[in-house]
Structures are given as C-alpha cells and as structure tokens.
Chains A and B, each alone.
Chain A
C-alpha cells in the first residue's frame, strides 16, 4: 500500500525537520551552537595551532597580549603560552565534560527507569540512594572521590559523572511514573499491549527526549565542576585545564589580570553556550509536543 507507508515515513521525517527548524530559528540557540562549535574546533585543532607541550615554559613570564609576536595572548607567571593553554584546555574541558555527561546520563536513565518501573521496595531503596547523593554537597563528594581514587583526567571525568547522575535519575523516575499512570499509556494497555510493548513503544520514546535535551546543561555543569577542581589545584597536573590556569593566575592577579581573563571567559562562554543550546532544545521540544 503506497499511501500508508509513504504517509508514515513522511510524518517521521516531518517531525525531525520541524524540530530542527524550530531550533534553528531561535536566535539564542543558534548563537549558542555557533559559540560551542568554535570551542569544539579549538579543541580539535589544538595540536595544529599550538604544537608542543602547553605546560612547558616557552617564553618570558607575564608578557602582555600582543606584546610578543609568538604569544598573541601573552604568557603566565611560569612563562607558558596562554593561547596554547586555551586551545589545549578546551580539549580537556570538552573531553571531561562529554565523558562525564555520558556516564551521568547513562546511569541516571538506567536507575530512573528501574526505579520508576519496578515500584515497591526496589524503588524505595533507589529513591533513598538518589536522595542521599542529591542532598549531599556534590563538590565535597567530588573531593572525596578524587582523594580516594586519584586525580587523573579520566578519574575526574568518571567522578563528575558519578555525582551528577542523581538529578537525571530523579527526573527520569518522575517522568516514568507519570507516563506509567498516564491516560494514553493506559489506553494502549487496554488495546492489549504487553508490558514490554508499552515500555518500548510508549514510555521510552517519551522519557528519552527530555533526557537528551538536558545533556548540554549537564555538560556545562560538568565542565564547571572540573574547572573548579582544577582551580583548587586538585586537577590532573599532566593536562592543561582552564580551571588550573585560573588558579595559577591568582598570585599574579594585581599585575597581570589578563592571565585570569582568558581562561575565565573561556569557561564562562562554553558554559553559557551549552546553556543556550539546552534552552533551545527545550523550546524546540516543547512546541513539538503538539499540545494545541
């Protein structure tokens, strides 16, 4: 039958296309996307633009921006190239952010689904666990994990993921329960669907989109957490990090405030761009619900 299959295919395509259009047409979201892409490109091209070890001292300390040709952004107290630091730092931040977000979302979705679908004591126990971690100060937990497991970049990324899954789990659980009890899921149940069918066809497709939409925000938080750790000097000493650059700038702040400015702005703009993207996704998703 040509009509049904064509009709079905075109509706799915239409949904995706209209989602993208809504997102694109929101100026702030587009701006966020552009800004983030800049940083992503920076991370990718780090080796090309600034070859060599960014942690090695390569010039006179505290030279101002544009003072020396080789160092367009200047150098820090140790004589390290700030530009190199920015580019390589982008790599660290984005990598840690991405890994942490992936870990956090995966665990969060699994736990949330499990909790929401099982009910009973499984739910009660998991809920308490989620509550315990949510209400404990997350940065202190991060410190504890770093103290126990070490401070390599991978460990930090995993640790950040481990403390940030709880928010996702909480929301996924709430949404799963709401969906489980919603009228349209019940309607499909009355058609005779099995629990597995309900889960795969009705619940998951409605639980996952908000989770995906929250990914950019989560990444922003992860980047901020990693930078904070690095700022305190507890990050990975073998990798450049914007936070570490900021931390190092404290000492020379009154002479060379620009040393703090660049990494700080970098963190801020990355976080803001991710927030804008997340906001845009949320808006695009919201209107696509088709709630007349």
Chain B
C-alpha cells in the first residue's frame, strides 16, 4: 500500500516535469524570435560596423579587427550572417569586450551571480511575504490592517524603485550609517568564506529591500483578491459545514487553492525583476548584469548588451520551466499527456 502511494507520487512528479517540458518546447520559437530581434537590432545600429558585429575573441588590435570583420562576412548575405550569429550564440561565444578587455562571455559569467541572487532573492521574498500579508489582510477584510496594506500597496505601486532606493540610501547609509552606500564588497574584507558571504549579504540588503518592497505590495494585493474570491467558493462552504475552521480552513482549503493563480505568472515577474534590477544595480553600484547593460549602452558596446539580453531570455526560460513544474505539481487538475 505504501509502495502504491510512493509510485503515485512519483508518477505525479513525472507528469509535472512532462507538462513543463512540453511547455518549454512551445517556448522555443519565442527564444528564436529574441535571437532574431537582437540580430536585427545589431545590424540596424549606426556607428562603427566593427562595434556592431561580433569581434573575434583573440584579436584586440583595431586594424586586425577591421580586417577580420570583413573576413567574417559583412559583405555576405544576411542569412549567412545570421547563421554565423546563431552558431556563435549557441556556443556562448559573444565576442570581445573592449571596455573590459576580456571575452564578453567571461564578463557575463562574473556578473551573473550577483544579478541572479538579487533578482531571485527579491522575487522569493516579495512572493512569500506578500502572499502572507495578502492572506492576513483578506482574512481580516475591512480591518485596519487591511486598509493599511491596501494603502501601502498603492503608494509603493507608483513609487519608482530608484526613488525608494535613493531614500533608503539617504536614511540608512548617509544619515544613520547603518548600511553601506553601494558596491558589493568592502575592499578591506577577506574575499572568501563566511565573512565574505556576510559582507556581500550586508551590501545586498538595501538593494534587495528596495526591489522586494516594490513588488511586495503587488503580491499582497493579488493574494488578497485571490483569497477573498476563493473564500466565496462552494468547497470552502462544504469544509465549514464539516466543522473545519481557523488556520486549518485557511491553509488547506483557501490558500491551497488561492495560491495557484499567483504562482502561474511568477516567470513573467522574474523577467520584470530583471528589468528592475538594471536600475537598482546602477543605483547601488552592484557589479551585475543590469549594470553591465547600462555600461554597454554608454560605452557603445552593443554586442555586449545583446549578449546580456540573450542570457536574460535564457534565464527567464529556465525559470519558466521550474515554475511550470511547480505549478503542475501544485495543481492536481492539470491533465498530463
């Protein structure tokens, strides 16, 4: 009997992965479109053709680069160029960054961690804290807490993340000197081990707080609406007729169902988080992908920017996959192939 239960659980998990996998396949054309878009934009870019095309990773001498870019086929057909472009992208060869004097791929690799940490951390916190807050507000609908959450939500919804960041810096860093103004690490600290981790965390506190607060209100509002709606459903009434109440009712019957529509769009929100991270990273001088993107625009290194976009699109697809798995695992109604 135990075996049957275990194998059923396994089967359910397997079909969740199956579901997510097929959805992933369906997202492939979109990925292709992103690649096409970046390619088109690169070609459209005015300015130095050498800048706009992927340069060879070994040569840094401009004259040689000019020669090689001709060699790499500016004069060849668009389709051939596109083909080369795709082949390179698939191998994660993004060319050479003159500003950083290193292969772009290397720069991306360095900065990926920071952005990933910031974005996923903020999303996770915003989601969990926001949902909890929203549930509380809904269960005490009409109370002071409820109105406070709603008002709080409205204000934060319109507040630009950088304004909030600036205010936080002004208060916590400049006035109170509790938190660092920016950057990822204190130069004087050791660069490995627990101390390092703590130092990084210390520096990430305000940026993450900024991002979390802005999106917290969004989740709180959504969850509140969802909980209120599910609370009116028939099956909740049935549960109450059985004598279920309190935390048990909220947890097993209401939240269990109310959470589903909130989980589904998480991947989209991850993408929004990445966007928001661009500004926050610049504000707090964090060496992440977002800041790299801004830098690339300033220094006219378009291919680096496109590489960042490509990488972010990949990240989003990865997140989509896992969110789909989660969603399918949570929602038993999803029929599997």
A interface residues (Cβ-Cβ under 8 A, vs B):
128-129, 131-141, 143-149, 220, 224, 227-228, 231-234, 243, 246, 249-250, 253-254, 257, 260, 264, 267-276
Contacts and interface: CB of A to CB of B under 8 A. Distances in A.
B174 to A, nearest CB: 4
Contact of A246 (B166, B268, B317): B166
A137 B309 contact: yes
B166 A249 contact: yes
Interface of B: 27, 29-31, 33-34, 37-38, 41, 44-46, 154-155, 157-163, 166-167, 169-170, 174, 267-268, 271-272, 274-276, 278-279, 282-283, 290, 293-294, 296-298, 300, 302, 305-306, 308-309, 312-313, 316-317, 320
Given A227-B160, A276-B154, A140 B167 contact: no
Contacts of B160: 224, 227-228, 231, 243, 246, 264, 267-268, 271
19 contacts: A128-B33, A132-B29, A132-B33, A137-B274, A138-B275, A139-B279, A140-B274, A140-B275, A140-B290, A140-B305, A147-B45, A147-B302, A231-B162, A254-B174, A260-B167, A264-B160, A268-B160, A272-B159, A275-B157
A255 to B, nearest CB: 9
Contacts of B162: 228, 231, 246
A144 B167 contact: no
A137 B33 CA distance: 14
Contact of A260 (B170, B312, B320): B170
B271 A136 contact: yes
Contacts of B33: 128-129, 132
B259 to A, nearest CB: 22
A25 to B, nearest CB: 19
B279 A253 contact: no
Contact of A136 (B46, B174, B302, B313): B313
A264 B163 contact: yes
Residue among B154, B166, B306 with most chain A CB within 10 A? B166
A227 B160 CA distance: 8
A147 B158 contact: no
A132 B154 CA distance: 29
A134 B170 contact: no
B320 A135 contact: yes
B272 A137 contact: yes
A133 B282 CA distance: 23
A181 B304 CA distance: 46
B144 to A, nearest CB: 17
A232 B316 contact: no
Contacts of A128: 29-30, 33
A249 B159 CA distance: 17
Nearest to A229: B279
A268 B158 contact: yes
Contact of A272 (B46, B155, B316): B155
A143 B302 contact: no
Contacts of B283: 250
Residue among A149, A264, A275 with most chain B CB within 10 A? A264
Given A147-B297, A231-B162, 16 more contacts: A128-B33, A132-B29, A137-B271, A138-B271, A139-B279, A140-B308, A228-B278, A228-B279, A231-B160, A232-B279, A233-B298, A253-B169, A260-B170, A268-B158, A272-B155, A272-B157
Contacts of B317: 135
A253 B174 CA distance: 8
B41 A139 contact: no
Contacts of B293: 140, 143
Contacts of A133: 37
Contacts of A232: 278-279, 282, 294
A137 B316 contact: yes
B94 to A, nearest CB: 14
A122 to B, nearest CB: 14
B271 to A, nearest CB: 5
A132 B313 CA distance: 9
B166 A144 contact: no
Nearest to B277: A137
A135 B316 contact: yes
B158 A272 contact: yes
Q: Which 7 A-B pairs have the closest CB atoms?
A: A271-B158, A272-B158, A139-B275, A264-B163, A132-B30, A132-B33, A137-B274
Contact of B297 (A143, A249, A275): A143
B41 A137 contact: no
Given A135-B320, A140-B309, A254-B170, A275 B158 contact: yes
